[in-house]
Homo-oligomer: A and B are copies of this chain.
Amino acid sequence: MEKIFIYDTTLRDGAQTEGISYSLQDKISIAKRLDSFGVDFIEGGWPYSNPKDTEFFAYFRKHPLRNAHLVPFGSTAHPARPAHTDKNLTSLLKSGTEYVTIFGKTWDLQVKEVLRIGLDDNLRIIRESVAFLKKHGKKVFYDAEHFFTGYKANPEYAIKTILAALDAGAHLVIFCDTNGGTLPWEITRIAQEVREVISLGNFGMHCHNDTGMAVANSLACIEEGCVHIQGTMNGYGERCGNTDLVTVLGALVLKMGCHVSCEKNMGQLTELSYFVSEVSNMIHHDATPFVGRSAFAHKGGIHIDAMLKNPLAYEHIDPLLVGNHRRFVVSELAGKSSLVLKAKELAFDLDKKSPRAKKIHKLIQDLEAQGYQFEAAEASFKLLLEREFRKYKKFFELLGFRVIVEKRDDGRLISEATIKIKVKGVLRHSASEGDGPVNALDSALRHALRDFYPALSKMHLSDFKVRVLDAKEGTAAKVRVLIESQDEKESWTTIGVSGNVIEASYNALADSIEYKLLKDVKANA
């Protein structure tokens, strides 16, 4: 199979995601990580439109990347300006990179209604813009915006635009499905028609996910002979996102047998995906193909039985190939054998017929009857096993807490928590205000612990879920709180159940902190 080039635009198109707002430092740290992972190209930003992006390129002129080519993004020249006076184009030159990317119009309707110029003028602009950059020694990626939509409207004209770019010396033309509305078999048909005019070895693919097809569309093009895929980590991007390069890499390397520069690092794919979600401050979705926390999690009883006989039955690849791992979910749907398996997965050797297995099984059943649900709270499950197996010393002991929420007559709202704990024989009594009662309690607890365990500053809560059990009891019902925490390496979930939302939250918080401290002790052992 031919080699496929990976072009990452997390820092440019991915930054358009609603809710993502990268600092310069965020962008630098993601670029370095992508570089060490081994993507071929990193689109760093649009220097003309954004001073932060100009600084970004300046930084890497001083501290060059080791593997990847950094690429600035821009557009073809303004219709009213010759290329050499167009600041958007000249700013690309100033970035000091070997490669640059510009986008231009393919769709006749856009030429007429958005640029408001003649069709031939657009061809001239494409030619002149590419030629100008080429003359200054740049290798040019030409993004053919709305290629498929444009092709469907006017195939002859769409072809003319890409030929204009290639004739002017573009290194590669990228088919863009800009509004994300094209379906895979349309992509295949159009790619085959283009191939009758010019080899697809000159083409790459840039998709959006508005019909959930970005990955399928990108791979469909590779099947037809394209050589380059643009996308983002975790599929970040405007609206429904861009092509998810994480999924693309899994499929390209492990399912299609293609070669990519980063293939030796595929075992880091899961960690890379988490790293970018962490820096982007986005939740990592459990169901993400290849790298999600649930991607190789088995819950159904028959699945678990069949898995024991042959893992191929419900796993299309070995999870270790992408740095993920198999998990057996403890749930009402499975029995004692899944407990034993789950324990084994977590490195506890539990004999199904032992009194210990019986004891733990009973304990879990009792907790589940109270409303605990360990399938979503593996870290709490692991702590439960640790307590049964290793009888380790607790990192701290709760003596009491008080939380006050007051809505005053003047409308002000105050949340305050005090907490009393014993740590390493020392009594600590601390207080904190917060944005709400749980935040105040979290804050007071960390405050009491921080002198003893400075590593806690490296973890933070990333998700917080509350489910009311027996909801028909209304506000007197039991409450299940799930807290997801994250540090720079992984995420974990803990659970607390109580008739009182504050106590349930405290229980989940305490487990979360204990889990972090325990795993650090082990990592340093």
Could you list which residues of chain A lie within 8 angstroms of chain B, going by C-beta atoms? 16-19, 21, 49-50, 75, 109-110, 113-114, 146, 149, 178-181, 183-185, 188, 209-213, 215-216, 219-220, 223, 235, 237-241, 244, 247, 250-251, 255-256, 281-283, 285-290, 292-303, 306, 309-310, 312-317, 329, 331-333, 373, 375-376, 398-409, 413, 415, 420, 434-439, 441-442, 460-468, 471-472, 474-477, 479, 484, 498-503, 505-506, 509
CA distance A359 to B235 in the complex (A): 37
Question: Cβ of B468 and Cβ of A464 under 8 Å apart?
Answer: yes
Question: Cβ of B299 and Cβ of A501 under 8 Å apart?
Answer: no
Give me the 4 closest cross-chain CB pairs, A-B, nearest first: A181-B316, A461-B474, A216-B216, A466-B466
- A396, chain B: closest CB distance, angstroms: 14
Question: Cβ of B407 and Cβ of A405 under 8 Å apart?
Answer: no
A501's nearest neighbour on chain B, judged by CB, is B436
Checking B316, B332, B405 against A179 with a beta-carbon cut-off of 8 angstroms, the contacting residue is B316
CA distance A250 to B281 in the complex (A): 30
A289's nearest neighbour on chain B, judged by CB, is B212
CA distance A404 to B416 in the complex (A): 10
Question: Cβ of B209 and Cβ of A301 under 8 Å apart?
Answer: no
Question: Cβ of B434 and Cβ of A475 under 8 Å apart?
Answer: yes
Question: Cβ of A499 and Cβ of B299 under 8 Å apart?
Answer: no
Interface SS of chain A: helix, strand, loop or mixed?
mixed
Checking B19, B110, B297 against A286 with a beta-carbon cut-off of 8 angstroms, the contacting residue is B19
Q: List 23 A-B contacts (CB under 8 A).
A: A16-B299, A16-B300, A16-B333, A17-B299, A18-B294, A110-B313, A113-B310, A114-B309, A183-B251, A184-B216, A210-B316, A212-B216, A213-B215, A235-B287, A238-B300, A398-B407, A403-B437, A404-B405, A405-B437, A436-B476, A436-B500, A439-B475, A462-B471
Checking B213, B313, B415, B434 against A216 with a beta-carbon cut-off of 8 angstroms, the contacting residue is B213
Give every chain B residue within 8 A of A439 (Cβ-Cβ): 474-476
A220-B184, A240-B287 known; A479 vs B436 contact (CB < 8 Å): yes
Checking B211, B237, B290, B509 against A316 with a beta-carbon cut-off of 8 angstroms, the contacting residue is B211
A292's nearest neighbour on chain B, judged by CB, is B240
